[in-house]
Structure 1
Amino acid sequence: MATSTEFIDIKRAKPLEVDPAERVKDWNEYQKPFSEKKIKQQASRCMDCGTPFCQIGLNINSSTSGCPLYNLIPEWNALVQQGKWYEAYLRLAKTNNFPEFTARACPAPCEGSCTAGIPSDPVTIKSIEKAIIDRAFSEGWVKPRIPRKKTGLKIAIIGSGPAGLTAADDLNQLGHSVTVFEREDRFGGLLMYGIPNMKIDKSHVQRRIDLLKEEGIEFRANVNVGVDLSLEELQASFDSVLLCIGAEKPRELTIEGRQLKGIYPAMEYLTASTKHYLQSSSEPDITAKDKRVIVIGGGDTGADCVATALRQGCKSVIQFGKHGKLPLRRQKDNPWPENPHVFSLDYAYEEAVHLFGEDPRQYYIQTQSFIGNENGEVKGLNTTYFNQDDQETRYWEADLVLIAIGFEGVKDEYFQTINRSNNRISTTTNSYQTNLEGVYVAGDARRGQSLIVWAIQEGKKAALEIDHFLKAKKITSEQC
Structure 2
Amino acid sequence: MTLRVGKVEPRRRLLALVKAEAFAPYVQRRGEKYRLNVGDEAWFWQNVNCQAACPVYTDVPRYIALIADGDFDAAYAVNRQANVFPNILSRVCHRPCEDACRRGLLDEPMAICNLKRFAADCKSHITNRMSPVKRRIPDQRVAVVGSGPAGLAAALDLAGWGYGVTLYEALDKPGGMLAVGIPSYRLPRRFVEQAVEEVRALGVEVRLGVRVGEEVSFSELMADYDAVLLAAGAHAPLRLNVPGEDAKGVVHGLPFMYEVNAGGAGEGRCTLPQIEGQRVLVVGGGHTAIDCARSSVRLGAQAVEMVCLETKETMPADPYEIAEAETEGIVIYPTRAVGRVVTKAGRVTGVECLNVNSFEFTPDGKLNLETEPGSEHVLEAEVVIVAIGQRPALGPLSEHEGLEKTGRGTVAVDSETLATGQPGLFAAGDCVTGPLNVVDAVAAGRRAAVAMDRYLHGDIGSTRPVLSAAEGLTTGGKKESLLAPLPPADLSLDTLDRRLTGDDGEEIPRHPMPTLPFEERLDLHREVELGYTEEQARREAQRCYQCGFNVFIEAERCTLCNKCVEVCPQKCLEIIAFDRVENGDELAGMERAREWLDGGAVFIYEALCTRCDKCVEVCPPKCMRMEHIQMSREPC
- Where on the TM-score scale, by shorter chain, does this alignment land: which range? 0.7 to 0.9
Q: 2:313 aligns with which of 326, 338, 342?
A: 326
Whole-Å Cα distance in 2 between the matches of residues 321 and 176 of structure 1? 45
Shift of 1:345: 4.5
What is the alpha-carbon distance in structure 2 between the residues aligned to residue 225 and residue 242 of structure 1?
A: 12
Cα distance, 1:409–1:284 mapped onto 2, change above 3 Å: same
1:288-311 CA deviation, whole Å, 9 max, x = no partner?
112211100122211111110001
Pairing 1:101–2:88 present? yes
2:348 aligned to which of 378, 390, 396: 378
Q: CA-to-partner distance for each residue in 1:378-428, whole Å, 9 max, x for gaps?
A: 222211212474422212222211111112445454331211112111113
- Deviation of residue 194 (structure 1)? 0.4
Match of 2:382 in 1: 399
Q: Does 1:308 align with 2:295?
A: yes
Deviation at 1:238, TM superposition (A): 1.0
Tell me, what secondary structure is at the counterpart of 1:346?
helix
Matches within 5 A, 1:151-166: 151=137, 152-166=139-153
RMSD of aligned alpha carbons: 2.6
Give, in whole Å, the separation in 1 of the partners of 2:277 and 2:242. Answer: 26
Q: What is residue 62 of structure 2 aligned with on the other side?
A: 75
Deviates more, 1:294-303 or 1:178-187: 294-303
CA apart distance, 1:341:
9.3
Does 1:218 find its partner at 2:189?
Answer: no
Counterpart secondary structure, 1:203: helix
Change (3 A) 1:344 1:139: closer
CA distance in 1 between counterparts of 2:59 and 2:295 reads 35
Give identity over the alignment, percent: 27
1:326 Cα deviation after fit = 2.6
Relative distance call for 1:250 and 1:413 in structure 2 (3 A) is: farther
CA distance 1:390–1:421, shift in 2 (3 Å):
closer
1:88 and 2:84 equivalent? Answer: no
Equivalent AA in structure 2 for residue 377 of structure 1: R
Q: 1:272 to 1:50 in 2, by over 3 A?
A: closer
Inter-CA distance 447–325: structure 2 relative to 1 (3 Å threshold): closer
2:190 corresponds in structure 1 to 203
SS in 1 for 2:457: helix
- Out of 430, 435, 438, the position equivalent to 1:452 is 438
Q: Kindly state the Cα deviation for residue 340 of structure 1 after the two structures are TM-superposed.
A: 12
Q: How many Å separate the matches in 2 of 1:235 and 1:344?
A: 42
Where do 5+ consecutive residues of structure 2 fail to align? 5-43, 358-370, 461-636
Alignment match, 2:221 = 234
C-alpha separation in 2, matches of 1:425 and 1:263:
30
Query: Which residue identity lines up with residue 419 of structure 1 in the other structure?
Result: E
Where do residues 213-362 of structure 1 align in structure 2 (5 Å cutoff)? 213-276=200-263, 281-286=267-272, 287-326=274-313, 345-352=322-329, 359-362=330-333
AA partner of residue 196 (structure 2): I
CA distance in 1, matches of 2:433, 2:142: 22
Matching residue's letter, 1:157? V
| Secondary structure, counterpart of 1:157 in structure 2 | strand
Q: Contact 1:146–1:216 at 8 Å: present in 2 too?
A: no
The answer as to whether partners of 1:367 and 1:382 remain within 8 angstroms in 2 is: yes
Q: Which runs of 5+ in 1 are unaligned?
A: 9-47, 57-65, 328-338, 353-358, 475-480
CA distance in 2, matches of 1:81, 1:205: 28
Greater relative CO, 1 or 2 (CA 8 Å, sep 6+): 2
Aligned residues: 401
Counterpart residue identity of residue 394, structure 1: H
Is the contact between residue 266 and residue 404 of structure 1 (CA under 8 Å) also seen in structure 2?
yes
- 2:177 and 2:81 map into 1 onto residues whose CA distance is 24
**CA separation in 2, counterparts of 1:266 and 1:363?**
18
- Among candidates 118, 132, 138, match of residue 105 of structure 2: 118
Deviation at 1:250, TM superposition (A): 2.1
- 2:238 partner amino acid: R
Measured in 1, the distance between the counterparts of 2:50 and 2:396 equals: 39
CA distance in 2, matches of 1:341, 1:242: 30
Deviations 1:22-49 (A, max 9, x none): xxxxxxxxxxxxxxxxxxxxxxxxxx99
Looking at CA atoms only, which structure, 1 or 2, has the larger radius of gyration? 2
Say if 1:470 and 1:344 are closer, same or farther in 2 by CA, change over 3 A: closer
The answer on whether the counterparts of 1:326 and 1:343 sit within 8 Å (CA) in structure 2 is no
Corresponding residue for 2:51? 55
Alignment check: 8 A CA contact 1:143 1:211 kept: no
1:420 is aligned, of 398, 405, 413, to: 405
Residues 429 and 102 of structure 1, relative CA distance in 2, 3 Å threshold: closer
Note the C-alpha offset of 1:134.
1.4
* Closer, same or farther: CA 456–50 of 1 in aligned 2, 3 Å: closer
Residues 142 and 348 of structure 1, relative CA distance in 2, 3 Å threshold: farther
Amino acid of the residue matched to residue 339 of structure 2?
A: Q
Deviation at 1:236, TM superposition (A): 1.4
Opposite residue 405 of structure 1, the aligned amino acid is I
CA distance in 2, matches of 1:389, 1:420: 36
Report the Cα distance in structure 2 between the residues aligned to 1:166 and 1:342, rounded to whole angstroms: 27
Give the direction of change, closer, same or farther, for the CA distance of 1:248–1:293 in structure 2 (3 Å limit): same
Structure 1 contact 289–315 (Cα < 8 Å) conserved: yes
Contact between 2:101 and 2:110, CA under 8 Å: does it hold in 1?
yes
